[in-house]
Amino acid sequence: MIRLILILLIFLLGIGTATPAMAQSVPSNLSTDQLQRREVRSEVSSVSVSDLALPQALALPKEARNFVRELDELAQKALTATNQGDFTTAETYWTKIIEQFPDNPAALSNRGNARVSQNKLAEAIADYNKAIEIAPSATDPYLNRGTALEGLGKWEDAIADYNHVLELDPKDAMAYNNRGNAKAGLGQWESAIADYRQAADMAPTFAFARANYALALYQIGQTDAAIRNMRNLVRKYPNFADMRAALTAAYWAQGKRGEAESNWVAAVGLDQRYKDLDWVANVRRWPLVMVAALEKFQKLQ
């Protein structure tokens, strides 16, 4: 899930920053690599410098233009590697940019994201800390640091980062969603549900927030409402493996074996990781009641 908020190449040129823009919409063919409980936000878009700042770029000497073009290519390669799930390569490209611009907060935050995806949480936090030191009013490094803190089980520290994001930008839907994740880690389900609902209402196409909302409803026993939300998501996004697997568990618990099994075939066809209960519980971080329901399906299937 990528929100396009800070254009690295504009920053490098010293021209300024792009206007924040929500990019939470989710295509119908959801990538299985996006279905992580912890959600970080990239600070670079795939728009080239020539599209964003052509007059300024052309005013630079030829040698400088070539240098900017090389950095643009590195950023694009980093994004491509990220989209392909090759986070080691993405980290390498961000490091090359940081070697040229060690005080660039966008590059540092993006390298932190690549490190989070490799579970290099302490190194990621170091990158976010430096980005925050350089750009204390930027929201993304705080949000991304929160995800790393969640990975360490430091729920309250993560919540503090998300609260700060919301102080800077009260309309940040991802901060609400991630704060809900951290509250869920503390077992504060009612409060987590309120955050998920706020995120989903603020960004109606933010499917992951609505999915987390449905899972949390199931955890507190609001089964009918949870299933209704799951079904709505699957109707809108047929390839949403997370909700296909959730419906499998919920339908099996209701004794609807046919519906459960058909959703399971779809879920594992899209993402084999749902066969691994440890991954579901500790990486995707489903609520315990939902995990238990899926375990019963897998054992009794």
State the CATH number of the domain containing residue 244.
Answer: 1.25.40
Residue 17 sits in the same domain as residue 127: yes
CA atoms of 47 and 62, how far apart (whole Å): 21
The structure tokens 């009260």 sit at 170
Answer whether residue 185 is part of any domain: yes
Residue 163 sits in the same domain as residue 75: yes
Instruction: Name the band, by pLDDT with cuts 50, 70 and 90, for residue 238.
Output: very high
| Secondary structure letter of residue 32 according to DSSP | G
Token pair for 128:
């976010």
Number of structural domains the chain divides into: 2
pLDDT in tens, 154-178: 999 999 999 999 999 999 999 999 9
More reliable by pLDDT, 45 or 115: 115
Residue 171 sits in the same domain as residue 60: yes
pLDDT at 27: 37
Over residues 13-23, the mean pLDDT reads 27
Residue 45 sits in the same domain as residue 143: yes
User: Above 70 in pLDDT, residue 286?
Assistant: yes
Contact 42, 25 (CB under 8 A): no
Amino acid identity for residue 136 in this structure: P
Over residues 107-119, the mean pLDDT reads 95
The residues, any chain, with a CB within 8 Å of residue 132's CB and separated by 6 or more, are: 105, 138, 141, 142, 145
Residue 153 sits in the same domain as residue 252: no
pLDDT in tens, 64-85: 666 678 888 999 999 999 999 9
CATH number at residue 132: 1.25.40.10
Q: Given 140, 173, 192, which residue is the final one in a domain?
A: 192
User: C-alpha distances in angstroms, 259 versus 30, 235, 249, 254?
Assistant: 21, 14, 10, 10
CA atoms of 202 and 42, how far apart (whole Å): 20
Over residues 26-43, the mean pLDDT reads 49
Instruction: Name the band, by pLDDT with cuts 50, 70 and 90, for residue 37.
Output: very low
Residue 226 sits in the same domain as residue 187: no
Residue 63 sits in the same domain as residue 170: yes
Residue 271 sits in the same domain as residue 184: no
Over residues 223-249, the mean pLDDT reads 98
Q: To which H or E segment does residue 243 belong?
A: helix 241-253
Domain limits for position 291? 221-301
Q: Given 177, 192, 207, which residue is the final one in a domain?
A: 192
Answer whether residue 214 is part of any domain: no
Q: Given 174, 192, 210, which residue is the final one in a domain?
A: 192
Residue 114 sits in the same domain as residue 239: no
Residue 98 sits in the same domain as residue 181: yes
The percent of residues above 70 in pLDDT, for the chain, comes to: 77
Q: Label residues 112-130 b or e (16+ Cβ within 10 Å = b).
A: bbbbbbeebbebbbbbbeb
Answer whether residue 91 is part of any domain: yes
Residue 181 sits in the same domain as residue 257: no
